[in-house]
């Protein structure tokens, strides 16, 4: 996914815009951008951040940005912010989401005589597409509403113009958006992590489909929410930053609760429990709290300069990061029976080749792998996903068991079924660990603490709202 940040301040906002955007750096690895409005024009900077981090690329730029309001984005895929001169006047826009029917929508717009300026390898920039759909409306609110009704997928956005920032959350709420308050100044962000060190306090969580205008006069509701909530569960399990909370539910606490549920359903004898950094660490802390097994660190992560191995689109880069960033501590693990907690198993190849193998080489006696969500069965279609269905470890297991790819995998979703058990056994052998257990879907939802109708679980059960 991407991370978006906006600020409406009383004086120059560039310092807070820079740091507020930087607090979203864990969400994307491709492009980043900043834009400010100085009362007369926009000042915009965009950089490719594939080879270096946001801070390094923007450190000199941000000091030259002028204006008291601005937007920032760390983008998973495309160049943003987009600037548009429209019948509603000029505006800048950043988005977080994925438009599954982008090709069809772009074809329709071409037919209507529209043109696109940001096209890469024949593919339109999704943020530009969203902007083009918005300007088809009677006004900005109507335009956002119309855009929401046309896209398949999800889209949360921030739109900056001379009035302030229009903040709109996806109508199913797949991605979060929260507003922070600092006196009479405002920030809006994907990650509430961005608020505390800049002095903002959470004012509200924007509801699914809700649109608000944030200006120097405060918050003005512009459109009511849909009442539907399908916020991404994976934010709490893996993608979100530990200091963030979504819908008022803190990530770190949910991860501890996942670890506790894992421990409650376990009776393995172990000398220690550790996690695969970063998110697996908190799942392991929860496991240790519940079981009394000592928490120790079998592997540590060398953080400076490394992205998350999940986010870069190229497999080669993901593998390189996975290989280099984790370092085992043989003195801790030698001869030990270890419970190892991780957030999820996607393909399983990095886990096997770059994590488990390091523990084995370090002399570990037994590895008992505990995963803080059920087997991933369906690639996300509401945000950018780096996985294809055939790559998923669970799907490879099913293919190996059945001798072919299955269209209908419902028999494998039932956690009490023999088929499910066989699938987990296959993955256990593939990973070469002594035992493997996944968190049950109901326990994962309980750990989050929302009703099961109010969180997206598509990754695991393939059900859409």
Nearer to ligand SF4, 9 or 456 (CB): 456
Does 174 participate in binding ligand SF4 (rule CB under 6 A)? yes
The size of the interface with ligand SF4 (CB under 6 A), counted in residues, is 10
Whose Cβ is closer to ligand SF4: residue 165's or residue 448's? 448
In angstroms, give the least distance from the CB of 79 to ligand SF4: 23
Is the sign of the CA dihedral 281, 287, 289, 291 positive or negative? negative
- CB of residue 383 vs ligand SF4: minimum separation in angstroms? 5
Tell me: does residue 272 bind ligand SF4 (CB under 6 A): no
Residue 270 in the binding site for ligand SF4 (CB under 6 A): no
Nearer to ligand SF4, 227 or 465 (CB): 465
Cβ at position 46, least distance to ligand SF4 in Å = 26
Residue number with CB closer to ligand SF4 (42 or 382): 382
Residues 104-143 that bind ligand SF4 (CB under 6 A): none
By the rule CB under 6 A, 382 interacts with ligand SF4: yes
For ligand SF4, which is the closer residue by CB, 48 or 464? 464
Task: Give CA–CA dist 12/70, Å, rounded.
Answer: 9
Listed residue (256, 229, 231, 228) closest to 242, CA to CA: 256
458 binds ligand SF4 (CB under 6 A): yes
Q: What angle do CA 18, 19, 21 make, to 5 degrees?
A: 70
Shortest distance, position 230 Cβ to ligand SF4, whole Å: 7
- CA-nearest of 311, 207, 193 to 252 is 193
Among 82, 232, 359, 424, the residue binding ligand SF4 under the rule CB under 6 A is: 232
Q: How far apart are CA 297 and CA 284, in angstroms?
A: 10
The residue behind tokens 């257990």 is: 437
Q: Which residue from 232, 289, 262 is spatially nearest to 372, judged by alpha carbons? A: 262
Angle (CA) 349 352 357, round 5°: 145
Q: How near is the Cβ of 246 to ligand SF4 at its closest, in Å?
A: 11
Site for ligand SF4 contains 459 (CB under 6 A)? yes
Neighbour-count burial of 14, counting CB atoms closer than 10 A to its CB (0-12 exposed, 13-18 middle, 19+ buried): buried
Q: Which is nearer to ligand SF4, 356 or 448 (CB)?
A: 448
Angle 231-200-224 from CA coordinates, rounded to 5°: 45
Q: Is 254 in the site for ligand SF4 (CB under 6 A)?
A: no
Query: How far apart, in whole angstroms, are the C-alpha atoms of residue 283 and residue 301?
Result: 16
Interacting span for ligand SF4 (CB under 6 A) from 79-87, 226-234, 248-256, 301-309 = 226-234
Please say whether the beta carbons of 96 and 2 come within 8 A: yes
> Which of 125, 457 has the CB closer to ligand SF4?
457
- Does 383 interact with ligand SF4 (rule: CB under 6 A)? yes
Q: How far apart are CA 343 and CA 256, in angstroms?
A: 11
Question: Is position 310 an interface residue for ligand SF4 (rule: CB under 6 A)?
Answer: no
- Smaller CB distance to ligand SF4: residue 69 or 383? 383
The span of 13-21, 67-75, 379-387, 437-445 binding ligand SF4 (CB under 6 A) equals: 379-387
Tokens representing 83 are 């600037």
| Shortest CB 451 distance to ligand SF4, Å | 15
Per CB under 6 A, 346 contacts ligand SF4:
no
User: 233 to 252, contacts with ligand SF4 by CB under 6 A?
Assistant: 233-234
To ligand SF4, the closest distance from the beta carbon of 456 in angstroms equals: 3
Contact with ligand SF4 (CB under 6 A) among 380, 392, 397, 441: 380
Q: Identify which range of 105-113, 269-277, 405-413, 452-460 contacts ligand SF4 by CB under 6 A.
A: 452-460
Q: Which among 88-96, 359-367, 380-388, 408-416 is the span making contact with ligand SF4, rule CB under 6 A?
A: 380-388
Q: Does 96 contact ligand SF4 by CB under 6 A?
A: no
Listed ranges 99-107, 286-294, 397-405, 453-461: which one lies at the site for ligand SF4 (CB under 6 A):
453-461
**Distance of alpha carbon 437 from alpha carbon 459, whole angstroms:** 18
Residues found near ligand SF4 in the complex (CB under 6 A): 174, 232-234, 380, 382-383, 456, 458-459
């Amino acid at each position: 996914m991407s991370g978006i940040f906006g600020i409406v301040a009383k004086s120059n906002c560039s310092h807070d815009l820079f740091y507020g955007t930087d607090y979203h750096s864990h969400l994307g690895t491709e492009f980043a951008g900043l834009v400010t409005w100085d009362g007369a024009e926009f000042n915009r900077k965009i950089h490719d951040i594939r080879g270096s981090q946001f801070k390094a690329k923007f450190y000199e730029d941000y000091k030259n940005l002028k204006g008291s309001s601005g937007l920032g984005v760390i983008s998973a895929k495309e160049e943003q912010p987009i600037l548009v001169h429209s019948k509603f006047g000029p505006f800048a826009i950043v988005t977080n989401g994925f438009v599954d029917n982008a090709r069809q929508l772009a074809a329709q717009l071409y037919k209507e005589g529209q043109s696109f300026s940001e096209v890469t390898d024949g593919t339109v920039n999704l943020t530009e597409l969203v902007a083009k759909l918005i300007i088809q409306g009677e006004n900005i609110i109507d335009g956002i509403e119309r855009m929401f009704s046309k896209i398949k997928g999800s889209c949360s956005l921030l739109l900056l113009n001379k009035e302030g920032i229009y903040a709109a959350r996806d109508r199913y709420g797949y991605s979060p958006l929260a507003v922070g308050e600092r006196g009479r100044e405002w920030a809006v962000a994907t990650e509430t992590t961005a608020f505390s060190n800049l002095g903002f306090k959470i004012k509200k969580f924007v509801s699914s489909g809700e649109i608000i205008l944030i200006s120097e006069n405060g918050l003005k509701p512009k459109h009511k929410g849909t009442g539907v909530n399908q916020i991404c569960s994976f934010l709490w399990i893996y993608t979100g930053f530990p200091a963030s909370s979504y819908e008022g539910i803190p990530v770190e606490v949910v991860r501890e609760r996942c670890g506790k549920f894992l421990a409650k359903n376990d009776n393995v004898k172990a000398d220690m429990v550790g996690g695969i950094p970063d998110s697996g660490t908190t799942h392991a802390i929860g496991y240790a709290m519940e079981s009394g097994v000592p928490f120790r660190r079998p592997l540590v992560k060398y953080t400076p300069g490394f992205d998350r191995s999940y986010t870069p689109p190229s497999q080669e880069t993901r593998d390189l990061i996975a290989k280099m960033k984790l370092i085992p501590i043989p003195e801790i693990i030698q001869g030990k029976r270890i419970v190892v907690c991780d957030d999820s198993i996607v393909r399983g190849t990095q886990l096997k080749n770059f994590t488990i193998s390091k523990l084995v080489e370090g002399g570990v006696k037994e590895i008992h792998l505990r995963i803080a969500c059920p087997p991933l069965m369906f690639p996300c279609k509401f945000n950018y996903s780096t996985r294809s269905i055939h790559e998923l470890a669970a799907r490879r297991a099913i293919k190996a068991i059945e001798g072919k790819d299955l269209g209908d995998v419902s028999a494998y979703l039932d956690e009490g079924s023999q088929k499910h058990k066989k699938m987990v056994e296959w993955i256990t052998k593939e990973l070469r660990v002594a035992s493997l257990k996944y968190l049950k879907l109901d326990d994962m939802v309980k750990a989050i603490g929302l009703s099961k109708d109010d969180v997206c679980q598509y990754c695991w059960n393939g059900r859409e709202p």
